[in-house]
């Protein structure tokens, strides 16, 4: 196909941001700015819907490929294409960004133009990560994501936002620079940044282990895995609702995507060698962060810790190195992208009305906000992994695939599910049931806009839970390629 759809996907938000930034801000009202942002991102979403429609599921390898020489002298090329692994994540991104803008319609009052511009840039950088098949351009986009995110948390965040945003930026950067060195080394050996060519290249075993650890440092911070996860609760708690949504929904997936797209095909030997370490770290992540989540008094922090636990399932699934495991992990990624985004929106709704995130400040919300409690229940149950929701499929497949590795692993993973159910139910009970507090009485129920985006998210959750084949059809072939 000669139509440059991927470049268009990357460029549309950038062009939108440019036009917005060139328009004089004095005359524009906040609402107009948000509406124009919404038009751009919705157009982007519709554009990205072309990908699954025209994608040929029967073929191997990348499609919609575009190739331009970029740095001729250094053999670095602008080389983009998508396969089954990247398309669902692109759709998730383009789907979540309009929702982020919708949910900030009332909460972001100052510097609205900048806000929309940063979100548009963020969107195009994230899509850039998912479509690039050249290592250098992958790294460029992977790092560039930090800039708008740094500004979003820093400008519109909570009271402790500086600490959170610096920690987020520096943690991620420190991980990434090691990957940069590894990328440079790989390119100097293979003489090309092309991901397909590098997959065919075999490194010395010792060197492969070091290279794997360099990539691991970057992705483990992004995922985040157990000892590197401490930036996440801070960033989530301090970020504005929309920031948390995009952070939990898409940015955490960059790490897992990196594992599937780069680590596994590049370093087959090292992936098997480091399997026990990753399982151990993930088990600790699942059990430890679940227990930590149980003790949280801040709703956002609790959901942030639950994200770490859920991403633990993803890393375990990926490193079982079986088709089922990776399928399950991937499904969990998408499902977590929808559900945790929705949960952060849920917290955002009450925070916007009551200006507190403490669980103890809420009680009996269901009496005044029945629609809210209804949607809360759907996403809570999906996060717990109730059959029929998207959360179930991923967790089930991951747990099933761990049996082939070790029963102990299955045991710890399953404990994570139980703990997950206990803290989510506890959160739901404390917020929604119980006596109605007096200062909660005047809270208004969901507005039409909120009902609209919550129904979209709930619909997706149910759809994926009832008909998971929709996603598996897309990813099966590409994932089987990456574990060969």
Under the binding rule (CB under 8 A), the answer on residue 2 touching another protein is no
| Residue 166 interacts with another protein (CB under 8 A): yes or no | yes
| Pairwise CA distance, residues 218 & 196, whole Å | 21
For the bound state, the minimum distance from the C-beta of residue 299 to another protein, rounded and expressed in Å, comes to: 25
Residue 242 Cβ, how far from another protein at the closest point, in Å?
A: 17
Q: Does 222 bind another protein (CB under 8 A)?
A: no
Q: Which stretch binds another protein (CB under 8 A): 144-152, 320-328, 425-433, 438-446?
A: 144-152
Q: Which is nearer to another protein, 64 or 138 (CB)?
A: 138
Q: Which stretch binds another protein (CB under 8 A): 66-74, 197-205, 217-225, 388-396?
A: 66-74
74 binds another protein (CB under 8 A): yes
Furthest-apart CA atoms within the chain: distance in Å:
70
Task: Determine, following the binding rule CB under 8 A, whether residue 177 of this chain makes contact with another protein.
Answer: yes
Q: How far is the CB of 185 from another protein (least distance, A)?
A: 5
Q: List the one residue out of 321, 221, 219 whose CA is nearest residue 269.
A: 321
Sorted by sequence, the CB contacts under 8 Å of residue 447 that are 6+ apart come out as none
- Closest contact distance (angstroms) between CB of 165 and another protein is 8
Does residue 207 touch another protein according to CB under 8 A?
no
* Contacts for 394 with CB less than 8 Å, ≥ 6 apart: 313, 317, 328, 329, 330, 331, 332, 333, 334, 335, 336
> Which of 26, 73, 159, 484 is close enough to bind another protein by CB under 8 A?
73
Return d(Cα 258, Cα 269) in angstroms, integer: 17
Residue 63 to residue 481: CA distance in whole angstroms: 14
Q: Which stretch binds another protein (CB under 8 A): 28-36, 133-141, 219-227, 294-302?
A: 133-141
Q: Decide if residue 358 touches another protein (CB under 8 A).
A: no
The reply to whether 150 sits near another protein by the rule CB under 8 A is yes
Residue 412 in the binding site for another protein (CB under 8 A): no
Residue 403 has phi, psi (to 5 degrees) of -60, -35
Specify the residue, 57 or 167, whose C-beta has the smaller distance to another protein: 167
Q: Tell me if 315 sits within 8 A of 256, measured CB to CB.
A: yes
At 92 the three-state DSSP class reads helix
Q: Is 161 in the site for another protein (CB under 8 A)?
A: yes
Does 174 participate in binding another protein (rule CB under 8 A)? yes
Rounded Cα gap, residues 65 and 2, in angstroms: 9
Q: Judged by CB under 8 A, which of 23, 35, 158, 185 binds another protein? A: 185
Q: Is 147 in the site for another protein (CB under 8 A)?
A: yes
* Nearest CB to another protein, comparing residues 8 and 147: 147
Quick one: which H or E segment has residue 80?
Answer: strand 76-82
Helices 299-319 and 407-432 pack at an angle, to 10 degrees, of 160
Residue 443's nearest CA partner among 378, 342, 351 is 351
Instruction: Determine contact, residues 80/6, Cβ cutoff 8 Å.
Output: yes
The length of the chain is 484
Q: Does 190 bind another protein (CB under 8 A)?
A: no
Q: Cβ neighbours of residue 467 under 8 Å, at least 6 residues apart? A: none
Please state the closest distance from residue 191 (CB atom) to another protein, in A.
Answer: 10
CB of 143 to another protein, least distance (A): 5
> Are 177 and 142 contacting, i.e. CB atoms less than 8 angstroms apart?
no
> How is residue 373 written in tokens?
């409690």
Separation of alpha carbons 24 and 33, rounded Å: 11
Number of residues this chain uses to bind another protein (CB under 8 A): 32
Shortest separation between residue 252's beta carbon and another protein, angstroms: 20
CA distance 391 to 443: 30
State how far the Cα of 116 lies from the Cα of 118, in Å rounded to an integer.
Answer: 6
State how far the Cα of 105 lies from the Cα of 108, in Å rounded to an integer. Answer: 6
Residue 143 binds another protein, judged by CB under 8 A: yes
Exactly one of 141, 305, 313, 330 binds another protein (CB under 8 A); which one?
Answer: 141
Q: Residue 424: in which H helix or E strand, if any?
A: helix 407-432
154 binds another protein (CB under 8 A): yes
The answer to whether residue 151 forms part of the interface with another protein (CB under 8 A) is yes
For residues 83 and 143, which CB has a smaller minimum distance to another protein in the complex? Answer: 143
Residue 155 touching another protein (CB under 8 A): yes
Are β-strands 63-71 and 76-82 bridged in parallel, bridged antiparallel, or unpaired? antiparallel
* Selection from 346, 400, 435, 319 nearest residue 99 by Cα: 346
Using CB under 8 A, which of the segments 161-169, 289-297, 367-375, 463-471 binds another protein?
161-169
Interface residue with another protein, options 3, 71, 411, 459 (CB under 8 A):
71
Q: Which residues bind another protein (CB under 8 A)?
A: 70-74, 136, 139-141, 143-144, 146-147, 150-151, 154-155, 161-162, 166, 169-170, 173-174, 177-178, 180-181, 184-185, 187-188
């Amino acid at each position: 196909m000669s139509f440059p759809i991927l470049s268009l996907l990357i460029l549309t938000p950038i062009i939108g941001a440019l036009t917005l930034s060139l328009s004089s801000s004095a005359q524009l009202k906040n609402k107009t700015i948000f509406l124009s942002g919404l038009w751009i991102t919705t157009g982007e979403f519709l554009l990205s819907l072309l990908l699954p429609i025209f994608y040929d599921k029967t073929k191997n390898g990348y499609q919609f490929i575009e190739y331009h020489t970029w740095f001729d002298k250094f053999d670095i090329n602008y080389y983009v294409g998508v396969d089954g692994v990247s398309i669902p994540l692109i759709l998730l991104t383009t789907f979540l960004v309009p929702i982020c803008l919708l949910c900030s319609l009332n909460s972001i009052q100052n510097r609205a133009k900048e806000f929309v511009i940063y979100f548009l840039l963020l969107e195009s950088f994230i899509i850039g990560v998912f479509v690039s098949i050249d290592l250098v351009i992958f790294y460029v986009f992977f790092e560039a994501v930090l800039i708008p995110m740094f500004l979003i948390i820093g400008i519109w965040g909570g009271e402790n936002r500086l600490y959170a945003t610096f920690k987020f930026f520096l943690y991620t950067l420190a991980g990434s620079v090691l990957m940069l060195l590894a990328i440079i080394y790989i390119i100097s050996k293979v003489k090309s940044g092309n991901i397909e060519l590098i997959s065919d290249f075999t490194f010395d075993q010792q060197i492969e282990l070091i290279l794997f650890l360099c990539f691991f440092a970057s992705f483990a911070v992004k995922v985040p895995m157990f000892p590197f996860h401490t930036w996440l609760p801070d960033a989530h708690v301090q970020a504005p609702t929309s920031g948390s949504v995009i952070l939990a929904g898409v940015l955490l997936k960059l790490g897992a995507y990196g594992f599937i797209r780069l680590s596994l095909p590049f370093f087959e030997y090292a992936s098997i060698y480091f399997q026990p370490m990753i399982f151990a770290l993930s088990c600790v992540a699942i059990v430890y962060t679940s227990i930590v989540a149980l003790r949280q008094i801040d709703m956002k922090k609790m959901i942030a810790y639950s994200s770490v636990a859920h991403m633990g399932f993803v890393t375990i699934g990926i490193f079982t190195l079986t088709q089922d495991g990776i399928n399950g992990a991937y499904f969990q990624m998408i499902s977590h992208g929808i559900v945790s985004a929705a949960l952060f929106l849920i917290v955002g709704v009450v925070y916007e009305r009551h200006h507190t995130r403490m669980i103890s400040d809420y009680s009996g919300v269901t009496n005044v906000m029945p629609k809210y409690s209804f949607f809360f229940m759907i996403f809570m149950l999906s996060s717990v992994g109730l059959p029929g929701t998207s959360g179930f499929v991923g967790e089930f497949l991951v747990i099933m695939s761990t049996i082939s590795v070790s029963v102990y692993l299955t045991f710890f993973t399953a404990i994570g599910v139980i703990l997950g159910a206990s803290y989510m139910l506890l959160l739901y009970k404390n917020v929604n049931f119980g006596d109605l507090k007096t200062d909660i009485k005047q809270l208004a129920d969901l507005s039409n806009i909120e009902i609209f985006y919550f129904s979209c998210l709930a619909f997706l959750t149910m759809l994926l839970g009832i008909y998971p084949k929709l996603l598996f059809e897309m990813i099966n072939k590409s994932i089987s390629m990456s574990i060969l």
